[in-house]
Amino acid sequence: MKSRIALSVLFALITAAAFASDAATTTQSDAQKSFDNLKTLAGSWEGPVTVVPPQPEMSSDKPVHISMRVTSRGYALVHEMQEAGTPEDPTRYDHPVTMFYLDDNRLLLTHYCDAGNRPRMAARTSPDGKTLEFDFLDVAGSTEYGHMHHAVFTVIDANHHTEDWTYMMPGDKPVHARFDLQRTK
């Protein structure tokens, strides 16, 4: 009798584990596919920036350098941005860092901004899977100087992608920056 109960309990546990495994695979597949696609952008990128409306401190004649690398055993993607040709001195030059990661079945980013805050955004994918649009969730830290509010990543091919970032200035005035990036390595 005890062996039948033990077998029944063991069978129930195995069945529950199998269903949980199938459910986890199904529910996270879109986010995981999007994250895997985003990780193909690992490498170095450079290109021009177009800012609308134009901002005096953001010259469009200076290209931006983007470095992206997979870290934490594949669980995170680090995105670092700086004006091309400037020293890596984040105390004197802008050097924002963005982390991409999965949280359950959502692809999120946290942007560590030079404005001193950390907005979080959640991804939406396009039907073709080549465009990831990140919508604002919340922000930690002061928004006295504004905050990053929206981002769109579009993969053109293995060596070309665009990034569209929307920064919300004080008074909710949006500034859009478009980076047209080519792989450098």
100 within some domain: yes
pLDDT attached to residue 144:
95
Beta bridge partners of 160: 157, 182
How many whole angstroms separate alpha carbon 117 and alpha carbon 139?
Answer: 7
pLDDT attached to residue 9:
41
How many whole angstroms separate alpha carbon 37 and alpha carbon 138?
Answer: 25
Binned at pLDDT 50, 70 and 90, residue 55 comes out as confident
Say yes or no to pLDDT of 143 above 90.
Answer: yes
What CATH number does residue 177 fall under?
A: 2.40.128.20
Least confident of 28-42, 70-84, 109-123, 126-140: 28-42
18 within some domain: no
How many whole angstroms separate alpha carbon 135 and alpha carbon 166?
Answer: 10
pLDDT attached to residue 99:
98
Range of the domain at 117: 30-183
10 within some domain: no
25 within some domain: no
How many whole angstroms separate alpha carbon 117 and alpha carbon 85?
Answer: 25
81 within some domain: yes
7 within some domain: no
In 31-75, the DSSP E strands lie at: 43-47, 49-52, 64-71
The total domain count for the chain is: 1
pLDDT attached to residue 139:
98
More confident residue, 112 or 127: 112
78 within some domain: yes
Q: What is the pTM of this model?
A: 0.80
87 within some domain: yes
The token duo for 148 is 């990053």
